């Protein structure tokens, strides 16, 4: 008999009918003999509606009170789901974060979980009850209600699974798994049966928004097997695990991630002396701008060009700071470009394969796509290209790394 934590997101509990469907699903699971703990989000749109109410009172609502309010969204869905289960003859009980005692720090609206009391839930499971827990919320030492940040119910699910030593944490959502890339860009994208935590983090931070990144980090840290599944379609979903398969058939690349949210800045003709990178990036970081890729060219004539990328929202801010630095340093000029995109190939199989990067560059060259910047890590190679070639690049790479679904299987 297994212990499974199942998390259902906002769209999966977005109406009474859907909540009934979820209850039906949980009932069937339980018939198979598994112990089930369910974590739910608020009904879709509810958290936004609540935040909007608060904004009508004040542009910057007091964080403590905001948490008291937004936590109500989940309190509604846990009760409705428990009712729907009981109506079906399934013994069930619902708990808020405070009732379980999901202890967090006091960082309202972005609290971190410190400890979960497992006892009460374990007692209910022993007594044959399905336990329904409110996602996204906890309580601090002083008894204040806290919330975990948007999308935080994923983290609640994973943290509960870790605390209960569950066999699996299943995240039910409106997609049937994690794909090799965005199916809206590549029709032949395929659902992955398996992906490692490391790969998932790269894919998630690079733009596939299936799971809250914090939840993936948490699951990796505590080795909680995580599975992404469709709420209302049958299917195995995608399992996110620690182990890297050693099999020879394992593809070198698991997926292709991309991101249109970056902008590029170059400061040209800076003196090639020690401390230059610090002089440039120090003020950028002091302005609270995060830098992603960095390239410094080989110097000639004792000067060099220094290029980096930032989030597009930070572009103007970074440009201002950089112009200040440039005149101080006597640099030649500052140029910027917001029409860029980053494309990354991601895969743990890369570690043992030379030539992955060159295969990537060859595929891009064949399409006449110019590479502006390159960066690599153990499990990824990223390039910056002109934004208008993004879709072409992703498609070409998807084909080059043999990720396309066999004919007839694609959507």
Binding site for ATP, by residue number, is: 7-10, 173-174, 179, 184, 209-210
- When binding is defined by CB under 6 A, the residue of 13, 19, 39, 42 that contacts ligand ASP is 42
CB 339 within 8 A of CB 386: yes
CB of 31 to ligand ASP, least distance (A): 28
CB of 42 to ligand ASP, least distance (A): 4
Give residues 46-75 in contact with ligand ASP (rule: CB under 6 A). Answer: 47, 73
Give residues 151-170 in contact with Mg ion (rule: CB under 5 A). Answer: 151
Binding residues for substrate: 47, 74
- The CA-to-CA distance between both ends of the chain, in Å, stands at 36
CB of 77 to Mg ion, least distance (A): 13
β pairing state of 262-271 and 333-337: antiparallel
Between 170 and 382, name the residue whose CB sits nearer to Mg ion. 170
Q: Which does 150 bind (CB under 5 to 8 A by kind): ligand ASP, Mg ion, none?
A: ligand ASP
Judged by CB under 6 A, does residue 12 bind ligand ASP?
no
Distance CA 185, CA 376 (A): 24
- When binding is defined by CB under 6 A, the residue of 29, 95, 136, 308 that contacts ligand ASP is 136
Q: Is the four-CA dihedral 402, 405, 407, 410 of positive or negative sign?
A: negative
Among 315, 243, 229, 286, CA closest to 6: 229
3-state secondary structure 139-154: ECCCCCEEECCCCCHH
Judged by CB under 5 A, does residue 61 bind Mg ion?
no
Judged by CB under 5 A, does residue 9 bind Mg ion?
yes
Judged by CB under 5 A, does residue 255 bind Mg ion?
no
Between 178 and 373, name the residue whose CB sits nearer to Mg ion. 178
Distance CA 155, CA 171 (A): 10
Q: Where are the alpha helices (DSSP H) in 170-212?
A: 197-205
Contact range with ligand ASP by CB under 6 A, out of 28-36, 58-66, 147-155, 380-388:
147-155
CB 223 within 8 A of CB 274: no
Contact range with ligand ASP by CB under 6 A, out of 94-102, 146-154, 230-238, 394-402:
146-154
Contact range with Mg ion by CB under 5 A, out of 146-154, 213-221, 315-323, 339-347:
146-154
Q: Token match 């800076």: residue?
A: 270
Between 12 and 382, name the residue whose CB sits nearer to ligand ASP. 12
Q: Is 141 exposed, middle or buried (0-12, 13-18, 19+ CB in 10 A)?
A: exposed
Distance CA 279, CA 384 (A): 24
CA distances from 91 to 7, 127, 160, 183 (A): 18, 9, 20, 40
CA distances from 398 to 123, 190, 193, 351 (A): 49, 10, 17, 19
Q: Which does 73 bind (CB under 5 to 8 A by kind): ligand ASP, Mg ion, none?
A: ligand ASP
Binding residues: 7-10, 47, 74, 173-174, 179, 184, 209-210
Give residues 71-90 in contact with ligand ASP (rule: CB under 6 A). Answer: 73
Judged by CB under 6 A, does residue 152 bind ligand ASP?
yes
Binding-site ranges for ligand ASP (CB under 6 A): 9-10, 41-42, 47, 73, 135-136, 150-153
């Amino acid at each position: 008999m297994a212990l499974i934590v199942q998390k259902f997101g906002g769209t999966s509990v977005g109406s009474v009918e859907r909540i009934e469907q979820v209850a039906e699903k949980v009932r069937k699971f339980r018939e198979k003999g598994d112990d089930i703990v369910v974590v739910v989000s608020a009904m879709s749109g509810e958290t936004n509606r609540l935040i909007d109410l608060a904004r009508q009172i004040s542009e910057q609502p007091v964080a403590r009170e905001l948490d008291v309010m937004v936590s109500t969204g989940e309190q509604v869905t846990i009760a409705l789901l428990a009712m729907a289960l009981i109506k079906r003859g399934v013994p069930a009980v619902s708990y808020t974060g405070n009732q379980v005692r999901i202890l967090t720090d006091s960082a309202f609206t972005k609290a971190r979980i410190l400890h979960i009391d497992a006892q009460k839930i374990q007692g209910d499971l022993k007594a044959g009850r399905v336990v329904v827990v409110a996602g996204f919320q906890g309580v601090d030492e002083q008894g204040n209600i806290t919330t975990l940040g948007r999308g935080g119910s994923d983290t609640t699910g994973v943290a509960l699974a870790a605390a209960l030593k569950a066999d699996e944490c299943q995240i039910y959502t409106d997609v049937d798994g994690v794909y090799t890339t965005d199916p809206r860009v590549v029709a032949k994208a395929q659902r992955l049966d398996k992906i490692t935590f490391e790969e998932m983090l790269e894919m998630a931070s690079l733009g596939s928004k299936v799971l809250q990144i914090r939840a993936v980090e948490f699951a990796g840290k505590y080795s909680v097997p995580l599975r992404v599944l469709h709420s209302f379609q049958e299917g195995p979903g995608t399992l996110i695990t620690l182990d890297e398969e050693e099999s020879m058939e394992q593809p070198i690349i698991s997926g292709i991630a991309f991101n249109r949210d970056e902008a590029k800045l170059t400061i040209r003709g800076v003196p090639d002396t020690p401390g230059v990178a610090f002089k440039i990036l120090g003020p950028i970081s002091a302005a609270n701008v995060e830098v992603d890729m960095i390239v410094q060219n080989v110097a000639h004539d004792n000067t060099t060009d220094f290029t980096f990328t930032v989030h597009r929202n930070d572009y103007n801010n970074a440009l201002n700071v950089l112009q200040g630095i440039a005149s101080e340093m006597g640099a030649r000029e500052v140029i910027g470009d917001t029409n860029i995109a980053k494309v990354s190939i991601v895969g743990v199989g890369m570690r043992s394969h030379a030539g992955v990067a060159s295969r990537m560059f060859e595929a891009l060259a064949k399409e006449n796509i110019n590479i502006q910047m390159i960066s690599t890590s153990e499990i990824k190679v990223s390039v910056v290209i002109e934004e208008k070639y993004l879709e072409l690049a992703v498609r070409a790479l998807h084909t080059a790394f043999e990720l396309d679904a066999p004919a007839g299987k694609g959507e």
